């Protein structure tokens, strides 16, 4: 949610900021802005909408020679996406960018307004720059003024501040929102994640919550509540080429096609012929654990719901799943025999992170399943299993969901193994099926062409129901979420058996039902649910290996002997269908309206 970059050094700052923001644009793209101090001169530019508007606005501006600079791409939380609300926010002689939410901003704003400060924007962020200038005007040195400002902030923030009062210094603070510092000799970079600094910096330091400081003359001064601290950087190793589109029209499309390959990486060294090996877990990790509780949001939550069936069925261990934003405020009863599992692609989702902190405070053991190493959730968890999906750039998550579900399936088998609740022959059959999944995820030209053709019939209507049973119910939820995110058409996922308890009232020819009809799981049951809908004239698109005579449209999947293999193949079908519908509707597939990739506010 929002992206921040900063740079201090002699290079062309405008380009560094714009290129960095380009890498972060997926986090929010309502507006963007940059501010640069070079010598005594302060310049700033802002533009509403995508970054290209800011590029256009700054095309005649250059910023070579030593200077300091900050930039921001915004996903609106307080105030509409206007130029006035775009960051950087200006005081009288300072600029600030911020990611997160200042929870006590109204109180601070009132206090400042009473002292005569005029606010230009509706944002919480603007309070930071005015507070800073207030303390500076009271006679505090710039760093003392910044420190006093940070001490007043409540909530989540990653923030950078520059001021004419210290034209060779960038001030920074982090609490709850991600930020890192990159180093290349005397040049110093800031960013919300490592992609903007790949190829520029060679060492990196991931800031911890509660850290703040300043950078001056190529030296970073870092503080926490105990005072100035020594910190150690680590080499920045990342392959930027992986993050490019590689010839696909959209990142989402590339990521759907990649699933077959990355699944191999997810399993590598973990899925052996007759056992699951998870080096991340100590031998006695599950000792004393009788229940698993999983917390996540959105797509990751759907993966968790799928896993609940697997944990109970395969490992015979109780598993509850909760939406993180609900969990946080329900005063949950937590017992120490519960393993607390969080699932997150980004590792930065605010609600999931907070749920994890709550579980830790209650003394629970924690495990995260995450795609981003060094992310806040990974660092906060006792142990993490990385999904190894590679950078996911499409806002609509695809390969992250596939690899999360695979890791959870592996974990269910692993628990069955260590608790000896899973017979050897069942384990062997599950592993065999696992090894077949990369094949089930291959996108053939034929399949893609079929979904492209079908998609033209699904561009209108008064809604979609994705229906399924058992693990195909969470898949139905996920299929519906994918479709609504990028097509802006209304779609719901439903357990097929529930349709006649209300939703069937909506059935008519304009109600599109996407029926997930696997051969290996309750086929006859779902068939009769679909027949009931068809009898009421609903338009049926059946996805199944078995031909279904009542289907208006039919996507035939392969025969398989295992539900999870069918699950993954059907997942690809629903992803491609959503993609093709979105393309036909002319939508921005990778950056759908109103969404952001990493939701770092609650």
For residues 599 and 602, give the distance between their C-alpha atoms in angstroms, rounded to a whole number.
8
Residues 6+ apart with CB under 8 A from 94: 129, 132, 133, 136, 161, 162, 163, 164, 165
End-to-end CA distance of the chain: 10
Peptide bond preceding 369 in cis form (omega within 30 of 0)? no
Phi-psi map region of 594: left, alpha, beta (phi>0 left; psi -120 to 50 alpha): left
How buried is 161 (Cβ within 10 angstroms: 0-12 exposed, 13-18 middle, 19+ buried)?
Answer: buried
Asked if 80 is an active-site residue, the reply is no
Decide the pairing of beta strands 31-38 and 67-74.
Answer: antiparallel
Nearest CA to 392 out of 255, 532, 574 is that of: 255
Q: How many residues does the chain have?
A: 602
Q: Does 192 bind ligand F6R (CB under 6 A)?
A: no
Give the whole-angstrom CA distance, residue 430 versus residue 407: 13
**Residue 298 binding ligand F6R, by CB under 6 A:** yes
Of 2, 295, 297, 370, the active-site residue reads 2
For the CB of residue 389, give the shortest distance to ligand F6R in the complex, in Å. Answer: 11
Nearest alpha carbon to residue 16 among 88, 64, 86, 74: 64
**Site size with ligand F6R, rule: CB under 6 A:** 14
**Run of H or E including 95:** strand 94-102
If the CB atoms of residues 100 and 298 are measured against ligand F6R, the closer one turns out to be 298
Q: Render the burial of 9-25: b for 16+ CB within 10 Å, e for the rest.
A: bebebbebbbebbbbbb
Binding mask 484-503 for ligand F6R (x = CB under 6 A): -x------------------
CB 600 to ligand F6R: min, Å: 9
Query: Of 58 and 376, which CB lies nearer to ligand F6R in the complex structure?
Result: 376
Q: Would you give the binding string for ligand F6R spanning residues 333-362, x where CB under 6 A is met?
A: -----------xxx--x--x----------
> Which window, 70-78, 298-306, 358-366, 516-524, contacts ligand F6R (CB under 6 A)?
298-306
**CB neighbour list of residue 549: distance below 8 Å, 6 or more residues apart:** none
Minimum distance between the CB of residue 368 and ligand F6R, rounded to whole angstroms? Answer: 10
Tokens at 345, concatenated: 């692609």
Q: Which is nearer to ligand F6R, 75 or 189 (CB)?
A: 75
The pairing of strands 234-235 and 203-206 is: antiparallel
Of 31, 159, 299, 544, the residue at the interface with ligand F6R (CB under 6 A) is 299
Which entry of 147, 482, 484, 597 is annotated as an active-site residue? 597
Q: Which stretch binds ligand F6R (CB under 6 A): 256-264, 291-299, 328-336, 490-498?
A: 291-299
Binding to ligand F6R by residue 100, rule CB under 6 A? no
Closest by Cα among 153, 174, 159 to 102: 153
DSSP symbol at 119: P
Which part of the chain contacts ligand F6R (CB under 6 A), choosing from 295-303, 315-323, 488-496, 537-545? 295-303
597 counts as catalytic: yes
Q: Minimum Å distance from CB 231 to ligand F6R?
A: 27
For the chain, what is the radius of gyration of the CA atoms? 25
Which tokens belong to 451?
A: 């979904």
Answer yes or no: are the C-beta atoms of 130 and 169 closer than 8 Å.
no
The yes or no reply on residue 574 touching ligand F6R (CB under 6 A) is: no
Interface residue with ligand F6R, options 397, 417, 513, 575 (CB under 6 A): 397
CB of 28 to ligand F6R, least distance (A): 13
Which range touches ligand F6R (CB under 6 A), out of 271-279, 292-300, 451-459, 502-510? Answer: 292-300
Q: Which is nearer to ligand F6R, 71 or 592 (CB)?
A: 592
Q: Which is nearer to ligand F6R, 94 or 366 (CB)?
A: 366
Question: Measured from the CB of residue 398, what is the shortest distance to ligand F6R in angstroms?
Answer: 8
Which residue is closest to ligand F6R by CB? 298
Measured from the CB atom, the residue of 329 and 559 that comes closer to ligand F6R is 329
Active site residues: 2, 597
Provide the binding-site residues for ligand F6R, judged by CB under 6 A.
297-300, 344-346, 349, 352, 396-397, 481, 485, 599
């Amino acid at each position: 949610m929002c992206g921040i970059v900063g740079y201090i050094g002699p290079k062309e700052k405008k380009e560094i900021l714009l290129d960095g923001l380009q890498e972060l644009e997926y986090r929010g793209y309502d507006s963007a802005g940059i501010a640069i101090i070079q010598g005594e001169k302060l310049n700033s530019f802002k533009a509403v909408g995508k970054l290209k508007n800011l590029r256009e606005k700054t095309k005649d501006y250059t910023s070579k020679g030593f200077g300091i600079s900050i930039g921001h791409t915004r996903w609106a939380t307080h105030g509409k996406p206007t130029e006035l609300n775009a960051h950087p926010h200006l005081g009288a002689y300072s600029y600030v960018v911020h990611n997160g939410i200042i929870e006590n901003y109204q109180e601070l704003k009132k206090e400042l307004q009473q002292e005569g400060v005029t606010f230009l924007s509706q944002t919480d962020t603007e309070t930071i720059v005015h507070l800073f200038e207030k303390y500076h005007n009271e006679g505090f040195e710039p760093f003392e003024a910044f420190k006093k400002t940070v001490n007043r902030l409540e909530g989540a923030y990653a923030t950078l501040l520059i001021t004419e009062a210290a034209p060779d210094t960038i001030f920074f603070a982090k609490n709850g929102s991600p930020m890192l510092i990159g180093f290349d000799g005397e040049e110093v970079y800031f960013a919300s994640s490592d992609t903007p600094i790949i190829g520029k910096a060679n060492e990196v330091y991931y800031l911890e919550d509660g850290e703040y400081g300043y950078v001056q003359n190529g030296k970073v001064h870092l503080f926490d509540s105990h005072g100035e601290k020594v910190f150690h950087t680590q080499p920045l190793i990342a392959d930027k080429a992986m993050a490019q589109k590689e010839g696909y029209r959209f990142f989402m499309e590339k990521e759907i096609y990649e699933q077959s390959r990355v699944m191999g990486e997810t399993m590598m060294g973990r899925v052996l012929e007759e056992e699951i090996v998870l080096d991340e877990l100590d031998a006695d990790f599950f000792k004393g654990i009788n229940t698993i509780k999983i917390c996540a949001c959105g797509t990751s939550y759907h993966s968790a719901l799928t896993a609940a069936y697997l944990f109970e069925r395969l490992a015979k261990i109780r598993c509850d799943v909760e939406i993180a934003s609900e969990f946080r405020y329900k005063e949950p009863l937590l017992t120490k025999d519960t393993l607390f599992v969080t699932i997150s692609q980004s590792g930065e989702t605010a609600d999931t992170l907070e749920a994890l902190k709550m579980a830790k405070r209650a003394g629970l053991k924690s495990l995260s399943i995450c795609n981003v190493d060094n992310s806040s959730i990974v660092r906060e968890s006792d142990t993490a299993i990385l999904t190894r999906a590679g950078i996911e750039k499409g806002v609509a998550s695809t390969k992250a969901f596939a690899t999360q579900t695979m890791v959870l399936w592996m974990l269910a088998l692993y628990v069955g193994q260590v608790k000896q609740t899973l017979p050897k022959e069942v384990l062997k059959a599950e592993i065999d099926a696992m090894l077949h999944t990369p094949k089930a995820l291959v996108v053939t030209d034929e399949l893609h062409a079929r979904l492209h053709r079908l998609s033209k019939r699904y561009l209108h209507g008064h809604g979609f129901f994705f229906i399924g049973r058992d693990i195909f119910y969470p898949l139905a939820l996920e299929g519906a979420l994918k479709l609504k995110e990028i097509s802006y058409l209304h779609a719901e996922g439903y357990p097929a058996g529930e349709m006649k308890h209300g939703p069937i009232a909506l059935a008519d020819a304009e109600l599109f039902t996407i029926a997930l009809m696997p051969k290996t799981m309750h086929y006859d049951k779902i068939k009769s649910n679909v027949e009931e809908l068809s009898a009421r004239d609903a338009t049926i698109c059946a996805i199944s290996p078995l031909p279904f005579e009542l289907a208006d449209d039919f996507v035939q999947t392969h025969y398989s002997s295992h539900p999870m293999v069918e699950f993954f193949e059907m997942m690809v079908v629903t992803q491609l269908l959503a993609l093709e519908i979105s393309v036909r509707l002319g939508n921005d597939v990778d950056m759908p309206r109103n969404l952001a990739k990493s939701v770092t506010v609650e």
